[in-house]
């Protein structure tokens, strides 16, 4: 018997899309993820713009990931024109990225994923019985936003970080205050890890999983290093086109990506799988305490991986603030009398995984070509195959499981990827056949 199921809208994800599923004799015959939102053409919007206009536009690709787009864009521009930012600039950019990591991960795991496991339709319903849990989340998000605002000028679309430096550096007393606030939330972050380590997650191990992340052999993945996979692939970001192929599915306005022809996952779980030995001692102690095994190919563990990352990065921010005093700086100016047509590629670990910005400029600093690959684009093919594999596993155990319960299983798995379809366009409808 053949049946079709269309999931017209998945809630609690960033954006809109559609999943089309065809089941034949208890097996998933087809599974397709389609973006149903119109393409947003940011790569064309920035063509013809001066180098110093681009970042303020590309940060608007996504509100929740605006800092990641800002920093990656600046790094691509600086590589193109051989601008070398100072050590202080790099640290301040790291703090902006950490602030975004804190607020993005906390928003996702508490507001989007946790209601699935607590038996609620959304966080508002959950708050009636778990008010303190929501308050904890809001406090974590607040501190993340405060860190971004302190360094970047505002919590969304930061503007003080420009090519070669920062236009303004906050007073020392404000850095001291945010260090204290980060220290104060550490118990909440341990509480968060305890909560998510204790959730009962599906026993699903994706077959032949490929995880990619940035690797520099010194720190946990963030801004610098090669791109590596758990399968032994390694390449410089400048060579990404040799390894990462973008393509379209019929009926979807979002791109998909493969790594040497195979689907892959990037994000918190990939980072911990590939570089978990570089997490903070406190974070690793909690992994050991709750007997969580990494590397893992259970994609539902991405939620716990994000909780672990919040603690690691909060401790890293405290370390930076304790060991550095920030002074006003003069941003580096580009001498266009000495420049030629050039290309620059930036790649960092955004909350949801590796983000690429690839720019080509003429000798006057005008952008002629751009390519931007977001983490969700890279995760889409893996998400599609994972839904198919996981549903087959569910149907094998419970062949008569109702459509409503199957839809919930799909939503839970999709949300585990933390998709951001504002970036790659948007998400989600499900169509069953």
How crowded is residue 142: how many other Cβ atoms within 10 Å of its Cβ? 16
For 10, 145, 192, 407, the CA distances from 135, given in Å and listed in that order, are 25, 15, 12, 29
> Which residue from 147, 142, 173, 171 is spatially nearest to 158, judged by alpha carbons?
147
**Non-local CB neighbours of 206 within 8 Å, separated by 6+ positions:** 297, 298, 299, 382, 385, 386, 389, 390
Q: Which domains does the chain have, with CATH numbers?
A: 2-432 (1.10.645.10)
CB 377 within 8 A of CB 386: no
Dihedral angle, C-alpha 43, 46, 48, 53, nearest 10 °: -150
pLDDT of 137: 97
Eight-class DSSP state of 332: P
Residue 227 β-bridge partners:
214, 235
> Which residue from 292, 421, 290 is spatially nearest to 352, judged by alpha carbons?
421
User: What does the pLDDT look like over 326-348, one tens digit per residue?
Assistant: 999 888 888 887 778 899 999 99
**Non-local CB neighbours of 291 within 8 Å, separated by 6+ positions:** none
pLDDT of 35: 57
User: What's the token pair of residue 336?
Assistant: 């266009």
- Residue in this structure with the two tokens 């996952």, named with its chain if needed: 265
CB 89 within 8 A of CB 79: no
The whole-model pTM stands at 0.91
State the Cα–Cα distance between residues 71 and 88, nearest whole angstrom. Answer: 14
Half-sphere exposure of 164 (CA within 13 A, CB side): 13
pLDDT of 406: 83
Eight-class DSSP state of 230: T
> Which residue from 230, 195, 201, 203 is spatially nearest to 215, judged by alpha carbons?
230
pLDDT of 425: 33
Q: Extract the residue ranges of the chain whose pLDDT is less than 70.
A: 1-17, 34-40, 249-254, 421-433
DSSP output for 176-208: HHHHHHHHHHHHHHHHHHHHHHTS-------TT
User: What's the token pair of residue 396?
Assistant: 């094998």
What are all long-range contacts of 109-112, with beta carbons under 8 Å and residues at least 24 apart? 109/192, 109/196, 109/303, 109/306, 109/307, 110/134, 110/136, 110/137, 110/192, 111/12, 111/137, 112/12, 112/13, 112/415, 112/418
DSSP output for 88-116: HHHHHHHHHHHHHHHHHHHIIIIIIIHHH
């Amino acid at each position: 018997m053949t049946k079709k199921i269309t999931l017209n809208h998945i809630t609690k994800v960033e954006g809109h899309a559609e999943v089309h599923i065809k089941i034949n004799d208890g097996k998933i015959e087809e599974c397709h993820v389609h973006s149903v939102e119109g393409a947003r053409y940011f790569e064309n919007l920035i063509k013809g713009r001066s180098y110093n206009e681009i970042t303020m536009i590309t940060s608007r690709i996504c509100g929740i990931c605006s800092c990641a787009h800002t920093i990656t864009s600046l790094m691509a521009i600086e590589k193109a024109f051989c601008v070398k930012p100072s050590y202080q600039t790099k640290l301040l950019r790291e703090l902006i990225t950490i602030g975004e990591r804190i607020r993005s991960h906390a928003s996702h795991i508490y507001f989007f994923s946790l209601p699935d496991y607590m038996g609620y339709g959304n966080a508002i319903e959950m708050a009636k019985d778990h008010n303190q849990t929501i308050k904890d989340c809001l406090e974590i998000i607040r501190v993340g936003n405060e860190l971004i605002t302190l360094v970047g000028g505002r919590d969304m679309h930061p503007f003080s970080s420009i090519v070669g430096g920062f236009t303004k550096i906050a007073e020392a007393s404000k850095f001291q205050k945010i260090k204290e606030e980060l220290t104060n939330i550490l118990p909440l972050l341990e509480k968060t890890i305890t909560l998510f380590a204790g959730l009962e997650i599906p026993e699903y191990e994706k077959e032949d999983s490929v995880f990619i992340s940035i690797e520099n052999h010194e720190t946990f993945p963030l801004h610098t290093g090669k791109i590596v996979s758990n399968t032994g692939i390694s390449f410089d970001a400048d060579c990404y086109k040799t390894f990462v192929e973008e393509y379209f599915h019929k009926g979807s306005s979002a791109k998909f990506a493969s790594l040497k022809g195979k689907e892959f996952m990037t994000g918190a779980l990939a980072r911990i799988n590939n570089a978990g030995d570089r997490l903070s001692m406190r974070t690793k102690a909690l992994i050991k305490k709750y007997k969580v095994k990494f590397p893992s190919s259970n994609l539902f563990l991405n939620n716990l991986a994000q909780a672990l990352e919040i603690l690691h990065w909060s401790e890293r921010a405290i370390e930076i603030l304790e060991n550095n005093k920030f002074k006003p700086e003069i941003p580096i100016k580009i001498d266009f009398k000495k420049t030629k047509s050039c290309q620059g590629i930036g790649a960092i670990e955004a909350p949801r995984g590796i983000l690429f910005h690839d720019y080509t400029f003429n000798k006057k600093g005008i952008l002629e070509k751009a390519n931007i690959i977001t983490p969700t684009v890279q995760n889409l093919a893996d998400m599609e195959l994972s839904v198919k594999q996981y549903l087959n596993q569910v149907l094998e155990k419970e062949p008569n499981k109702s459509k409503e319960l199957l839809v919930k299983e799909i939503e839970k798995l999709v949300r585990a990827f933390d998709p951001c379809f504002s970036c790659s366009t948007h998400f989600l409808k499900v169509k069953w056949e």
